[in-house]
Amino acid sequence: MQDLQPIPVAPTGATPAQTEQKLRAQAVQLEAAFLSEMLKCAEVGRPMDSFGGGIGEEQFASFLRDAYSEKMAEKGGIGLAESIFHALTKGQGHV
């Protein structure tokens, strides 16, 4: 059986720092998507029964959740991005 080799994640000529920065950004984006789904389950952005904004508020609630989740992930979130980053770089010799 052959030994499995990691697939390079960076294009040829990219420095390890550039690759690490790109992977970290992707991990943060993935955490933000996860947090957005969790906020949706928690009904964040759900219109209030009284003084609600109508159908417009319902349609734009996802934008509010996405903005919240992106800011949360940028500030460290729940630590999921760091775990994802370490998993992505495990076989790449970065960390």
**Residue 5 located in a structural domain:** no
pLDDT level of residue 3 (50, 70, 90 thresholds) = low
68 found inside a domain: yes
Write out the chain in H/E/C secondary structure: CCCCCCCCCCCCCCCHHHHHHHHHHHHHHHHHHHHHHHHHHCCCCCCCCCCCCCHHHHHHHHHHHHHHHHHHHHCCCCCHHHHHHHHHHCCCCCC
Percent of the chain clearing pLDDT 90 (strictly above): 37
Euclidean distance between CA atoms 25 and 30, whole angstroms: 9
pLDDT(37) > 70: yes
Average pLDDT, the chain: 80
Domain that holds residue 63: 18-43+53-89
Whether 58 is covered by a domain: the verdict is: yes
pLDDT tens digit sequence for 4-35: 566 555 556 668 788 888 889 999 999 999 99
- Decide if 9 is inside a domain: no
Domain for residue 57, yes or no?
yes
Domain count, the chain: 1
Evaluate whether residue 29 is within a structural domain. Answer: yes
Contacts of 57 (CB under 8 A, 6+ apart): 47
| Residue 8 counted as domain residue | no
Tokens of 43: 């009904």
Q: Which two tokens stand for residue 8?
A: 């390079």
Residue-wise pLDDT tens digits, 54-68: 777 777 888 989 999
The answer to whether position 76 is within a domain reads yes
